[in-house]
Chain A
């Protein structure tokens, strides 16, 4: 049976000790809170940032929760209390012994219990000193107060500027993404059948989806640059330079024709209005199409012959143009920018050649005027072949038309992306690019050879800031000259230097330039436009 007096004393001691422990833990908790709060505030202030109050609340909460946890873990039990009371109250282990032997009944234990009771009657639990941790409370309080004071200081000017910039970049990156999504959606809707045949806009959609909302301006710029790279690659896929060259040569040849229709076709080809050119060709071919000559009215036959003559004149000029370009020219151009329109095995030059051969054959058969079946079958064969090649030619024209349109749209998109980049890095205040927006006239300077020595800039104008000029120029006088003098025996010779190598070098220079961070977007855009115009297949000035 437990001794009530001893038990009561022990309970009192335990309460007293736990009370003292609570104060000690509270002192440590306040001290730790003060230190952590000051550290937290100091860390932010060192970086010039406003101290977030939320963090302070969290720290305080956890410090106090930790304090309560520690207190609960360290709570004294009766055995520990007995030992502490024995030590602190000078009980010489009476209490601990009494607790252990209180259920024993031998005489010596009873005597010990009695002796302990007597001893305890002279003592009180309150005799145990509970020292308030005034020092740690005071230090903790002072540190916490200092942290709170630091918490009232606002962001430094630089930090505020950076935060504003981050917020702006974040909102702008989001806005750019939304606009680009709308743009690509519109792009998709507005694409004609020809364009859809040659261009898959799903890659663009994926590219836009890949853009992430970000606070980091550089990251935003990198994302846009990556997307722009995709657009540029897509534009590269839309190149049909070799065929365009062939069409240009054909247009030039057709322009010399006495026939108005041929000149009209030439004009269309020159203006890259391939759809219209296709229509003209179709119309021409229809007019010159023969049926069984035996069944034909002689007047109609004569008219057909006349039409065939015109057609032959046209195909001859086109074939001549193709032949003129010659193998050497093709070799010089190479394949880098001279991709053939995919879809059939022949390029436009070969098709023009074949069409002329067929037209010539048909003309020859018709000119014989011998309407024997076997002869007419020969003529029909030429006509069929001609129609077949014409169909291929027209298909290629449609593809070229689709590619041209898609390329223009992509160019618009890229121009829009350049604006978006300016918008993202704060160089422009509005984004506003739209489907209807076309390439600016004159952007990137005039075409090669179309320039003038007349300066538009006034004398007082300052040179535009185009970044680190020194690094652009490099170390003067150091390193080999990049100028190479091409030697040729005469003006008609073909330079040994490959045009492809030169073109690659230009592209590399342009790309390294437009990737620089210190070059304004306007300048980059101008450089890109210029280099593209240099290689563009356009009307000779």
Chain B
């Protein structure tokens, strides 16, 4: 690997493309979703995937784990799942004739964690992930255990399953870099899915990148400059999601209770840099910011009572915030 920024950016794009291509061998369509998941991975962020059952959320994460040479774990979140089932626990073990309590690491000690149907677990169990997601470490019995990097949580949740589900708390939602909504594939993609999965042979996914490379990608993207005018635009977009901001659009003022946090702005900046690199540019443009605004903020807006009652989509509010930022 060379130290030249030009070379590193070239390598970034190539690696990104390799991973995308590899995932594309199994996952049909969903290019935006794949790209955004990879953007979040490059930025070291976690992703919340939302979609009806059967759209390939779990398959996408499984495929990506295979494409990356990283340790993968999967937790199926259920109502009776305990925090210790997630982060690990201390177990009594015999050691040199003595019985001692020894920490038994949970499934979070991996590089890619698939938290399947995360909203089915109780809030107590969901909260077990808070420290893990933000600090990338686990503290059990006053002992902190770091998790190896890179570490990503790719969580899935079903929007229509309300029975036996527990909505994620705002603090947890804010820890997700992106929230991606998986839509129903189009007709051609449907046919292709059947073709690929209906036969005896399955496409084989090979590892095309390792953890070190992923970390390197993160370092490269942080070198991409952003002009103050563009950064101002980014801040305006985020601030426009706050109902108390004078310049916020009327819709936001009516339907939003709390807007996006500075963490959202950080996520947008990182994601915009990745998009700039993928576009072959050495600077961030306003279109990059606008493109990542929706996935980065849609789970961070807390709607007001009116917004909830009228079923206002956060995506629509974010688009109006973008429009009023110009």
Which of A97, A98, A111 sits near B5, CB closer than 8 Å?
A111
Q: How far does the alpha carbon of A111 sit from the alpha carbon of B227 in the complex, in Å?
A: 15
Scoring A79, A92, A101 by chain B CB atoms within 10 A of each residue's CB, the highest score goes to A92
Instruction: Name which of B141-149, B235-243, B277-285, B312-320 contacts chain A.
Output: B277-285
User: A115 to B281, Cβ gap below 8 A?
Assistant: yes
User: A97 to B230, Cβ gap below 8 A?
Assistant: yes
User: B225 to A101, Cβ gap below 8 A?
Assistant: yes
Is A127 an interface residue when CB atoms closer than 8 A count as contact?
A: no
Q: Whole-angstrom distance from the CB of A3 to the nearest CB of chain B? A: 15
Is A100 an interface residue when CB atoms closer than 8 A count as contact?
A: yes
Is B208 an interface residue when CB atoms closer than 8 A count as contact?
A: no
User: B224 to A101, Cβ gap below 8 A?
Assistant: no
With A107-B5, A108-B223, A108-B224 already in contact, the answer to whether A94 and B229 are too (CB < 8 A) is no
Q: Whole-angstrom distance from the CB of A306 to the nearest CB of chain B? A: 119
Q: Whole-angstrom distance from the CB of A386 to the nearest CB of chain B? A: 105
Given contact pairs A79-B229, A94-B285, A115-B281, a sample of 4 additional A-B residue pairs in the complex whose CB atoms are under 8 Å apart = A93-B284, A93-B287, A97-B225, A98-B283
A residues near B227, Cβ cutoff 8 Å = 93, 96-97, 99-101
Is B4 an interface residue when CB atoms closer than 8 A count as contact?
A: yes
User: B281 to A94, Cβ gap below 8 A?
Assistant: yes
User: A115 to B282, Cβ gap below 8 A?
Assistant: yes
Interface flags, A133-156, vs B, CB<8A=1, else 0: 000000000000000000000000
B residues near A96, Cβ cutoff 8 Å = 227, 229-230
Is A357 an interface residue when CB atoms closer than 8 A count as contact?
A: no
Q: How far does the alpha carbon of A36 sit from the alpha carbon of B302 in the complex, in Å?
A: 51
With A108-B223, A109-B225 already in contact, the answer to whether A97 and B6 are too (CB < 8 A) is no
Is B286 an interface residue when CB atoms closer than 8 A count as contact?
A: yes
B residues near A115, Cβ cutoff 8 Å = 281-282
Is B228 an interface residue when CB atoms closer than 8 A count as contact?
A: yes
A residues near B4, Cβ cutoff 8 Å = 107
User: A93 to B283, Cβ gap below 8 A?
Assistant: yes
A residues near B225, Cβ cutoff 8 Å = 97, 101, 108-109, 112
User: A111 to B6, Cβ gap below 8 A?
Assistant: yes
Q: Which of A74-110 contact B (CB under 8 A)?
A: 79, 83, 86, 92-94, 96-101, 107-109
A residues near B284, Cβ cutoff 8 Å = 93, 97
User: B285 to A92, Cβ gap below 8 A?
Assistant: yes
**Which residue in chain A gives the minimum CB-CB distance to B289?**
A93
- Number of interface residues, chain B, beta carbon within 8 A: 19
A residues near B285, Cβ cutoff 8 Å = 86, 92-94, 97
B residues near A83, Cβ cutoff 8 Å = 229
User: B6 to A107, Cβ gap below 8 A?
Assistant: yes
A residues near B283, Cβ cutoff 8 Å = 93-94, 97-98, 101, 112
Q: How far does the alpha carbon of A96 sit from the alpha carbon of B289 in the complex, in Å?
A: 15
Q: Which of B231-283 contact A (CB under 8 A)?
A: 279, 281-283
Q: How far does the alpha carbon of A92 sit from the alpha carbon of B284 in the complex, in Å?
A: 8
Interface majority SS on B: helix, strand, loop or mixed?
loop
Q: Which of B133-181 contact A (CB under 8 A)?
A: none
**Which residue in chain A gives the minimum CB-CB distance to B228?**
A100
A residues near B282, Cβ cutoff 8 Å = 108-109, 111-112, 115
Q: How far does the alpha carbon of A108 sit from the alpha carbon of B283 in the complex, in Å?
A: 9
A residues near B279, Cβ cutoff 8 Å = 92
Scoring B4, B229, B283 by chain A CB atoms within 10 A of each residue's CB, the highest score goes to B283
A residues near B223, Cβ cutoff 8 Å = 108
- 13 residue pairs of the A-B complex, CB under 8 angstroms, read A83-B229, A93-B284, A94-B285, A96-B229, A97-B227, A97-B283, A97-B285, A101-B227, A101-B283, A107-B5, A109-B225, A112-B283, A115-B282
Q: How far does the alpha carbon of A99 sit from the alpha carbon of B228 in the complex, in Å?
A: 11
Q: How far does the alpha carbon of A96 sit from the alpha carbon of B285 in the complex, in Å?
A: 9
Q: Whole-angstrom distance from the CB of B275 to the nearest CB of chain A? A: 11
With A107-B6, A108-B224 already in contact, the answer to whether A92 and B281 are too (CB < 8 A) is yes
Q: How far does the alpha carbon of A115 sit from the alpha carbon of B282 in the complex, in Å?
A: 8
Q: Whole-angstrom distance from the CB of A122 to the nearest CB of chain B? A: 15
B residues near A112, Cβ cutoff 8 Å = 225, 281-283
Scoring B5, B281, B282, B286 by chain A CB atoms within 10 A of each residue's CB, the highest score goes to B282
Scoring A83, A97, A100 by chain B CB atoms within 10 A of each residue's CB, the highest score goes to A97
Q: How far does the alpha carbon of A108 sit from the alpha carbon of B5 in the complex, in Å?
A: 7
**Which residue in chain B gives the minimum CB-CB distance to A115?**
B282
Q: Whole-angstrom distance from the CB of A187 to the nearest CB of chain B? A: 77
Q: How far does the alpha carbon of A92 sit from the alpha carbon of B5 in the complex, in Å?
A: 21
Q: Whole-angstrom distance from the CB of B8 to the nearest CB of chain A? A: 10
Q: Whole-angstrom distance from the CB of A93 to the nearest CB of chain B? A: 4
Q: How far does the alpha carbon of A93 sit from the alpha carbon of B286 in the complex, in Å?
A: 7
Closest 6 CB pairs of A and B: A93-B285, A97-B283, A112-B282, A92-B285, A97-B227, A100-B227
B residues near A93, Cβ cutoff 8 Å = 227, 229-230, 283-287
Q: How far does the alpha carbon of A86 sit from the alpha carbon of B227 in the complex, in Å?
A: 13
Q: Whole-angstrom distance from the CB of A77 to the nearest CB of chain B? A: 13
Q: How far does the alpha carbon of A48 sit from the alpha carbon of B232 in the complex, in Å?
A: 59
B residues near A94, Cβ cutoff 8 Å = 281, 283, 285
Q: How far does the alpha carbon of A99 sit from the alpha carbon of B225 in the complex, in Å?
A: 13
Q: Whole-angstrom distance from the CB of A114 to the nearest CB of chain B? A: 9
Interface flags, A106-132, vs B, CB<8A=1, else 0: 011101100100000000000000000
**Which residue in chain B gives the minimum CB-CB distance to A112?**
B282
Q: How far does the alpha carbon of A92 sit from the alpha carbon of B228 in the complex, in Å?
A: 15
Q: How far does the alpha carbon of A115 sit from the alpha carbon of B285 in the complex, in Å?
A: 14
Q: Whole-angstrom distance from the CB of B220 to the nearest CB of chain A? A: 10
Q: Whole-angstrom distance from the CB of B36 to the nearest CB of chain A? A: 20
A residues near B287, Cβ cutoff 8 Å = 92-93
B residues near A109, Cβ cutoff 8 Å = 225, 282
**Which residue in chain B gives the minimum CB-CB distance to A119?**
B281
**Which residue in chain A gives the minimum CB-CB distance to B4?**
A107
Q: Whole-angstrom distance from the CB of A116 to the nearest CB of chain B? A: 8
A residues near B226, Cβ cutoff 8 Å = 97
Q: How far does the alpha carbon of A107 sit from the alpha carbon of B5 in the complex, in Å?
A: 7
B residues near A86, Cβ cutoff 8 Å = 285
Q: Whole-angstrom distance from the CB of A517 to the nearest CB of chain B? A: 62
B residues near A99, Cβ cutoff 8 Å = 227
Q: How far does the alpha carbon of A100 sit from the alpha carbon of B279 in the complex, in Å?
A: 21
Q: How far does the alpha carbon of A82 sit from the alpha carbon of B223 in the complex, in Å?
A: 23
Interface flags, B1-44, vs A, CB<8A=1, else 0: 00011100000000000000000000000000000000000000
A residues near B228, Cβ cutoff 8 Å = 100
**Which residue in chain A gives the minimum CB-CB distance to B233?**
A93
Q: How far does the alpha carbon of A94 sit from the alpha carbon of B5 in the complex, in Å?
A: 18
Scoring A93, A96, A111 by chain B CB atoms within 10 A of each residue's CB, the highest score goes to A93
Q: Whole-angstrom distance from the CB of B167 to the nearest CB of chain A? A: 38
**Which residue in chain B gives the minimum CB-CB distance to A114?**
B282
Q: How far does the alpha carbon of A70 sit from the alpha carbon of B281 in the complex, in Å?
A: 38
Q: Whole-angstrom distance from the CB of B148 to the nearest CB of chain A? A: 30
**Which residue in chain A gives the minimum CB-CB distance to B283?**
A97
Q: Which of B196-237 contact A (CB under 8 A)?
A: 223-230
**Which residue in chain B gives the minimum CB-CB distance to A109?**
B225
Q: How far does the alpha carbon of A98 sit from the alpha carbon of B281 in the complex, in Å?
A: 12
